[in-house]
């Protein structure tokens, strides 16, 4: 068994894979949750034909993550929705093995692993997911500090993991602008000139993949600050989303404005047993990705 060859990544993508990608992006950017089965079937067919395609594997994983992450959209959530976490971890693991150079896959693998571990109450898997998350942060902090912090936003506000997750959000801002952001007055206006679509720091801003990435970031970070009891700083973080040129076309601008108005009341609401910060909503993925 030790001498068995590893799966080899493909160098060129097939026409079927590219066509399946088109279906994926139409559903994902359109926020068309009901089209997940169609896109998933097309991508899985492409994967079975060419199982060495890292991009196809990652897109399959993303659809499974999306389906479980935004299951609040469903009138009745089936118990079997939890299988999506298992499948997401499987396909992100494939993507990491096929293309270890893309640290985004590693961050997503970590988040899927932690999700699965939480569902099945597996302490060993939780530990594995956490250390994978740390490796992902080291590999690409501009991208994976957000991924890591977002995952931890589910934790109780008084927990060490939640506090670490919030600190990761602050560090994400710091590494994106190459200086320590003022935590009492986090006005992002002075940094907007750094906006770029090139290089590693492109993930700090909006892009074709995530057309409202920055707005979603500030919405989540504001929610985490409110959950931590700091409604005043949360309002300032929320307000930074208005600085982004794409804010005027953002579907969730109204949600953010309501968050600012209700920040004080939401301290208790977000800490209630069924409190709904961004990660538990029907727009947990779409706040960043829907066009």
Residue 149 lies in a domain: no
Do 248 and 272 lie in one domain? The reply is yes
In angstroms, rounded to a whole number, what is the distance separating the alpha carbons of residues 102 and 272? Answer: 37
Domain boundary among 114, 139, 164: 139
Task: Determine, yes or no, domain membership for 1.
Answer: no
CATH code of the domain covering residue 67: 1.25.40.10
Contacts of 256 (CB under 8 A, 6+ apart): 215, 218, 219, 222, 238, 241
Q: Exposed (0-12), middle (13-18) or buried (19+): which is 147, by Cβ within 10 Å? A: buried
Q: Is residue 2 part of a domain?
A: no
Q: How far is CA 51 from the centre of its chain?
A: 25
Number of domains in the chain: 2
| Structural contact between residues 113 and 132, judged by C-beta atoms closer than 8 angstroms | yes
Q: Residues 6 or more apart from 224 whose CB is under 8 A from it?
A: 149, 153, 162, 165, 166, 169, 277
Residue-number span of the structural domain to which 92 is assigned: 14-139
- Rounded to an integer, the average pLDDT of 276-284 is 97
Specify whether 216 is located in the same domain as 185. yes
Q: Model confidence over 23-52: pLDDT tens digits? A: 999 999 999 999 999 999 999 999 999 999
Model's pTM, two decimal places? 0.96
What is the spatial distance between Cα 98 and Cα 57, in angstroms, rounded to a whole number? 9
Q: Are residues 165 and 126 in the same domain?
A: no
Residue 2 reports pLDDT greater than 90 = no
Provide the pLDDT confidence category of residue 154 given band limits of 50, 70 and 90.
very high
Q: Are residues 134 and 169 in the same domain?
A: no
Q: Is residue 147 part of a domain?
A: no
Q: What's 2's DSSP letter?
A: T
């Amino acid at each position: 068994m030790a001498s068995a060859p590893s799966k080899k990544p493909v160098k060129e993508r097939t026409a079927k894979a590219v066509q399946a990608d088109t279906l994926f992006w139409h559903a994902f950017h359109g926020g068309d949750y009901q089209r997940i089965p169609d896109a998933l079937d097309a991508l899985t067919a492409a994967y079975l034909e060419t199982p060495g395609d890292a991009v196809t594997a990652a897109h399959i994983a993303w659809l499974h993550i999306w389906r479980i992450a935004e299951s609040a959209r469903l009138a009745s959530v089936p118990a079997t929705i939890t299988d999506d976490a298992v499948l997401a971890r499987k396909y992100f693991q494939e993507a990491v093995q096929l293309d270890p150079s893309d640290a985004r896959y590693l961050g997503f693998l970590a988040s899927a692993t932690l999700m699965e571990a939480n569902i099945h109450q597996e302490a060993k898997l939780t530990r594995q997911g956490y250390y994978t998350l740390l490796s992902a942060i080291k590999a690409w902090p501009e991208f994976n500090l957000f991924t890591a912090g977002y995952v931890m936003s589910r934790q109780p506000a008084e927990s060490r993991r939640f506090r670490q997750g919030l600190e990761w959000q602050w560090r994400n801002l710091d590494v994106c602008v190459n200086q320590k952001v003022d935590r009492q007055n986090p006005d992002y206006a002075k940094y907007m000139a750094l906006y770029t679509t090139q290089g590693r720091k492109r993930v700090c801003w909006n892009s074709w993949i995530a057309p409202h990435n920055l707005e979603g970031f500030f919405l989540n970070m504001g929610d985490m600050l409110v959950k931590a009891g700091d409604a005043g700083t949360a309002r300032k973080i929320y307000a930074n989303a208005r600085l982004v040129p794409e804010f005027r076309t953002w579907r969730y601008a109204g949600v953010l404005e309501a968050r600012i108005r209700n920040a004080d009341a939401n301290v208790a609401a977000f800490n209630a047993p069924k409190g709904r910060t961004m990660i538990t909503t029907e727009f947990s993925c779409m706040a960043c990705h829907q066009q």
